[in-house]
Amino acid sequence: MKNITKLKHISPLKRWSLFFSAFLLFVIMIGCQKKTKSYFKLNKTEYSAGDKLDFTNMSPSKNQIWEVTNQNGSVISKIQEKQPQIPLSLLISNGPYSLNLYDNEKDYNYDIKSSKSFVIKTKRGHLDIISYDPEYYNFDVFCDDETIGSSNNYGGFQIELPVGSRYIKVKSGNKEKIELIELNSTSWETIVFE
């Protein structure tokens, strides 16, 4: 009780000075925190497999980690750059995803992030690759310079790829075949590798 009565006897100027000093100390403590938060704007919310994410980094710093995660929280890709180009795989499944930006110059504290959601909606066409020559039953397949798989042991390969013009490369040892195909949602393209 005695302490409370002492505060009543402090002049209004001293009370205001004490309040201002406490407020200033609070602001300084918040301002001295090392952790920062970065922001970005996702310019589109719907993409197809093979697209690049279209975004604007609103607060670039030198130490940023970008992650693309699926709806289960699994990391699909991870890049550390200021303004990266983030391509989506041709094989990425349709569904909801997130682009997350983490920024902490000291220790990449994963509690500090900016996150935006987007959706993958891709129309796909079917591609078959067949080798009738046992010497070339085992081959690797590339689409637009991305590895998309390998043949089974009997010279066959099947896949669904995003519609559009696609460069397909089939390679077995020194033998290589490159073909431009046009896939649409009702197409069933076949390449014979001999």
Same fold, 40-120 and 124-192: yes
Print pLDDT tens along the chain (194 aa).
555 555 566 666 776 776 776 666 665 655 555 444 567 888 999 999 999 999 888 877 766 888 899 999 899 998 888 778 899 999 999 999 999 888 755 555 555 678 899 999 999 999 999 999 999 999 999 999 899 999 998 899 999 999 999 999 999 999 999 999 999 888 789 999 98
Query: Structural domain boundaries of the chain?
Result: 40-120, 124-192
Query: Per CATH, which fold does 124-192 belong to?
Result: Immunoglobulin-like (2.60.40)
The whole-model pTM stands at 0.68
Could you write out the DSSP letters of every residue in the chain? -HHHHHHHTS-HHHHHHHHHHHHHHHHHHHHT-S-----EEES-SEE-TTPBP-EEESS--SSEEEEEEETT--EEEEE--SS---BPPTTPPSEEEEEEEEE-TTT--TTSEEEEEEEE---EEEEEEE--SGGGSS-EEEETTEEEEE--TTSEEEEEEESEEEEEEEEETTEEEEEEEEE-TT-EEEEE--
Residue 10 is predicted with a pLDDT of 66
Residue 80 is predicted with a pLDDT of 84
Q: CATH top-level class for 40-120?
A: mainly beta
Residue 111 is predicted with a pLDDT of 56
